[in-house]
Amino acid sequence: MRPPLPFDAYPCEREISLIFADIDRIGHVNNVAIARFFEEGRVTLNRMIEGLLPAGTPLRMLLAHVDIDYLAEVTYPGEVRLGIGVHRIGRTSIAHRAGLFQNGKPVAVSRSVDVHTVAGESGAVPLSEEYRAAARKLLLPDAA
């Protein structure tokens, strides 16, 4: 596992309010909720990239891989802050790194890969140059 980046290293961020449904019987935020937070981060990042593309650009990104490392307990009530950015831009895919923070401390990190597809076609499709240019604007400082 790579050490987490500091929160301010992530080009895309969002704050998430914890809700009672996020906790388990022990009273801490459960792994399903944390996975959902990272999903929200991926959606936010993908929407940011879409917003940088010319209107009407067809885009369909599908999650191909995700892993999560849990670093510390997340406690309720409160908020968490999620940071995410582009780690690598491939021929047909984009890799993300994300960090989840509570009270300024990293509590989980995630790595994920989205693959570009086109409705009606099977398999991955190369990313457009417009998409690559937009994604480069959201690269992490340690991007490959």
* Chain segment 67-123, per-residue pLDDT in tens: 999 999 999 999 999 999 999 999 999 999 999 999 999 999 999 999 999 877 788
Region 24-30: what's the mean pLDDT? 92
φ/ψ region of 120 (left if φ > 0, alpha if ψ in -120 to 50, else beta) reads left
The residues, any chain, with a CB within 8 Å of residue 63's CB and separated by 6 or more, are 42, 112, 113, 114
Instruction: Write out pLDDT tens, residues 37-56.
Output: 999 999 999 999 999 998 88
State the pLDDT at residue 14: 95
State the pLDDT at residue 55: 86
Strand partners, 106: 101
State the pLDDT at residue 144: 62
Task: State the DSSP H helix or E strand holding residue 41, giving kind and residue range, or none if neither.
Answer: helix 31-52
Q: What is the 3-state secondary structure (H, E, C) of 105-138?
A: EEEEEEEEEEEECCCCCCCCCCCCHHHHHHHHCC
Q: Where are the domains of the chain?
A: 7-136
Task: State the DSSP H helix or E strand holding residue 34, giving kind and residue range, or none if neither.
Answer: helix 31-52
Q: Indicate the average pLDDT of the chain.
A: 94
Task: State the DSSP H helix or E strand holding residue 35, giving kind and residue range, or none if neither.
Answer: helix 31-52
Euclidean distance between CA atoms 49 and 72, whole angstroms: 30
State the pLDDT at residue 16: 98
pTM for this structure? 0.92
State the pLDDT at residue 123: 87
- Confirm or reject CATH 3.30.1360.120 for domain 7-136, answering yes or no: no
* Residue length of the chain: 144
Strands 93-102 and 105-116: antiparallel
